Structure 1
């Protein structure tokens, strides 16, 4: 076990030196940050004393506010459970009513975002993404990454090497991967750190009161990427840029903006250099889109419709409110159901009114190069999804596989033509009410025994993959990540606790779920080193217990990673 202990400096305006490799551990006064995990090969290039000092400063200045905002989330959930619906805030009505203010908009290299590829930051996936024909790569340290210590640090190494043109990888089978062109010609990188709710237990922060606390995953991910790469990205003319996940309020957006202001000053780059795209993926954020843009206006490039987490947020927020709030089988909750249409149309209209890009979400369908019929169905589904987004006014979209890029691009090319975006479409025809956003019964449909079993199987199989360190898993020709697994387990929890009866007449109770779990697991191939037993244990905790864990990854991370 290696422990590095560093001192926080009070000279906030003093520019940090260029990163240098660490030469060993050292100890100074409180408050400090400690690495309490093994240091692998080249980890010292990322976990330098200077980088850790920067992380300590971020925690010293912002960890307290983060704690307060997470506490405010708890109160919001209590209010929702007690029947108080989310609403457009009366105290910020002036911000919504003022039609004159605008956000900073696209930075260099973000002018055309018609197709963005998403994926984790391991070396192989990074090379595949950067070699693709996408306009942007969402380098994902969040839902597509299992936050093992190795993934966290080596993901940073992948990005560090990529931005210096030296990213390579050789697979266990001997296949070699490397960048096919100059980094200036690859997709622009937009980095997604972990959400505010997640910790980094391998780094321990000692606050001014002397308490030893796990570090914030958000601050660690942002801080390491920014510290090592901000000036290099400016040299390349394309960054630093970030996706901001899981926000639930404009106050959380303000915290990010305060961090950006401090970080830019601290490393000595111009204010406003950072550009952020905010994922609107909670029902609470859907009611505060204007306010979120306003708080980030000096650093904001756009909004993204994070559809899967948005559905999860609906289930989580209203899970105990009765039959009206119960959603049908997961596959029936499409982007065309009325409450999802209200959400996406409001997002486009709000973003464009403020000069922000609107980026669409990810269809879960993926091609199968060994099965032409599966690929044909996937391409047709993705084409329809992207056609709807482009027609609605979105400026770009996500895909999870390089083979989907031509299909998605064709739909946006048809609408955009030579324009890089369609910000001129203000969608003044859109008038979305709170009732439309909360019209959950509009999803219609039914709950079937097959739908229950599908959710159980998906959640357990994904958790098994996540526990092995693989955060994006192709299961049954769909791309599953933490967000889709959250939908699956939260629906099972809600159906169980609402005493739901399936279309076949089966009451969803502990007995029926355990039976379906056994059926789902019975057909799974076991192998040496698999984590199915642990995955089943996690699933029982997050789907069958009386208490509802707000995120399945929090407890699983603490226990297993």
Structure 2
């Protein structure tokens, strides 16, 4: 006999319509997913931390010796493209807020990546509202009226994009749903609620339940997702293999396990994506304590033609096409400017060149963050694809990437400048002031920024501080210098604040920045601290110092009796 999982407890406020998502049946489904997989998740997160310590102590980062047979076996392929995912030449991304959802569905893109991760500040209201918006959109009911302008938004596209959902990563918890006081893994909450309510409807609509998987660091984490998929399909009577998942290769460890990740998900795989901004952040984090040889220049200098980035993307395309999987390119984050047409023209030229390079390299499609970029991206891929839906037949046998190629920091041109330091501080604080106000996708200096922006910026500052880097202008990056620049930016933001709430968010942004960028140790992510401190419902927020145990409460999984995978 197997024990029945306890029913989750809702600790968040029940806003209007939340009961449509948080039904007893849906919560029981989450409990089964949690009971079967939360323990392994905790073990894998602990393994991440131990691996990081070994690398900082000098362990070489390399392709895995014990999975060589998977890489050398030429016989296996991933599942063929699923309905709605055959042609992916342009994918638009954004959080599932009502306005952004409708704009994405009307954009003309082939795919919409509905994002519960980096571009959604995961407040309780945002998370469950996002589930409601997706439920309505899939059933053709989504409408929105902007209270400020009175403008009405409706989905008018004859063929809206295929919806692909990105749940939060394995590291995050959902404090508003607990079992025995332990928060549930946010990834299982986002995946489970969407799958439970929409899987069959999506199939009836001619597509299926499709996902983007973020922040994976190993093929064992992909194996865990595959087991989640297998159990979820069995529980709801959905045919095995119906779920499809595209994995974002946005961590350096995952770049060394691309083939193994595809193998673990092969019956559910729809390819890999080059999550390039988070990848740079992961590079810095991976070698945080390994000396000045790994210090990177201003992030504006790290382009996709930088040798280590070029090696990463070429390896991704060659790996995917060898296994019959889609290779999806990186984000174009520019936001067109109505006020300055010349800015828009220059940016579109850069986007065009970027997408043309990706298409020529063999990518099957790419990402944009704004509807105004869909045409530019689509045209770049049209020129290469023509009437073909993809270029899976383009084999990159010319690609031979070594571990040294992926780690070649010394080959990255550019300098660390005072302007680069100021930009990292300014963009971080402006974004964080919006994030603690529940906004995850924020237009800053004509770019659509998300959490990856802060991750790159704050880890660069930490790295420059830790290694006492000398700027090209001659100054050394010290705590005094950074504090002076932070004060200048905070004063400017306070001067722009219009009410007490805005002033409070500026101070909260400064707190998150100092906590994540200026401590003796480098936090793995800024989001766990910022979420626990500022984004959960106020009665649940911790008032005193926050320990690592406070941030890892969802990993405190009690021993359970073995449970049948499909129970």
Pick the TM interval, shorter chain: over 0.9
State yes or no: 1:394 paired with 2:370. Answer: no
In 1, the alpha carbon distance for the partners of 2:492 and 2:189 equals 40
Equivalent residue number for residue 564 of structure 2: none
What TM-score do you get using the length of structure 2 for normalisation?
Answer: 0.92
Equivalent residue number for residue 539 of structure 1: 513
What TM-score do you get using the length of structure 1 for normalisation?
Answer: 0.93
Deviation of the 1:365 alpha carbon = 2.4
State yes or no: 1:375 paired with 2:375. Answer: no
Equivalent residue number for residue 26 of structure 1: none
In 2, the alpha carbon distance for the partners of 1:131 and 1:34 equals 37
Aligned residues: 529
Equivalent residue number for residue 53 of structure 2: 78
State yes or no: 1:198 paired with 2:172. Answer: yes
State yes or no: 1:64 paired with 2:54. Answer: no
SS of residue paired to 1:189: strand
Deviation of the 1:169 alpha carbon = 0.7
In 1, the alpha carbon distance for the partners of 2:58 and 2:128 equals 43
In 2, the alpha carbon distance for the partners of 1:274 and 1:225 equals 12
Detail structure 1 runs of 4+ shifted over 4 Å in the superposition.
Answer: none
In 2, the alpha carbon distance for the partners of 1:412 and 1:61 equals 42
Equivalent residue number for residue 209 of structure 1: none
Deviation of the 1:10 alpha carbon = 5.8
Equivalent residue number for residue 513 of structure 1: 482
In 1, the alpha carbon distance for the partners of 2:262 and 2:251 equals 15
State yes or no: 1:164 paired with 2:139. Answer: yes
Equivalent residue number for residue 91 of structure 1: 66
In 2, the alpha carbon distance for the partners of 1:520 and 1:105 equals 51
In 1, the alpha carbon distance for the partners of 2:372 and 2:519 equals 41
In 1, the alpha carbon distance for the partners of 2:369 and 2:288 equals 29
Equivalent residue number for residue 96 of structure 2: 121
Most deviating of 513-522 and 96-105 = 513-522
Equivalent residue number for residue 550 of structure 2: none
Matches within 5 A, 1:43-54: 43-54=18-29
Deviation of the 1:30 alpha carbon = 5.8
User: Are the equivalent residues in 1 in contact too, given 2:5–2:32 (CA < 8 A)?
Assistant: no
State yes or no: 1:154 paired with 2:125. Answer: no
Matches within 5 A, 1:415-454: 415-454=384-423
State yes or no: 1:291 paired with 2:260. Answer: yes
Q: Deviations over 1:433-490 (max 9, x none)?
A: 0000010111121000110010000111111111111101110111210011100000
Which residues of structure 1 form unaligned runs of 5+? 1-8, 12-28, 207-211
Equivalent residue number for residue 477 of structure 1: 446
User: Are the equivalent residues in 1 in contact too, given 2:329–2:358 (CA < 8 A)?
Assistant: yes
In 2, the alpha carbon distance for the partners of 1:457 and 1:164 equals 41
Deviation of the 1:31 alpha carbon = 2.4
SS of residue paired to 1:521: helix
Deviation of the 1:389 alpha carbon = 0.4
User: Are the equivalent residues in 2 in contact too, given 1:365–1:381 (CA < 8 A)?
Assistant: no
Deviation of the 1:84 alpha carbon = 1.2
Deviation of the 1:42 alpha carbon = 0.2
Q: Deviations over 1:378-399 (max 9, x none)?
A: 1011111101100100000000
Equivalent residue number for residue 436 of structure 2: 467
Q: Deviations over 1:350-401 (max 9, x none)?
A: 0000000000010232211222011112101111110110010000000000
State yes or no: 1:229 paired with 2:198. Answer: yes
Matches within 5 A, 1:324-403: 324-403=293-372
Q: Deviations over 1:106-157 (max 9, x none)?
A: 1001110000000000111101000110000000000000000000000000
State yes or no: 1:32 paired with 2:1. Answer: no
Greater RCO, 1 or 2 (C-alpha within 8 Å, sep 6+): 2
Query: Which of 137, 141, 153 is 1:177 aligned to?
Result: 153
Equivalent residue number for residue 239 of structure 1: 208
In 1, the alpha carbon distance for the partners of 2:220 and 2:371 equals 36
Superposition RMSD on alpha carbons, in Å? 1.2
Q: Deviations over 1:493-539 (max 9, x none)?
A: 00001000100111101100011112223333212222110000110
User: Are the equivalent residues in 2 in contact too, given 1:104–1:298 (CA < 8 A)?
Assistant: yes
Q: Deviations over 1:76-104 (max 9, x none)?
A: 11011111132111100000001110001
User: Are the equivalent residues in 2 in contact too, given 1:300–1:356 (CA < 8 A)?
Assistant: yes
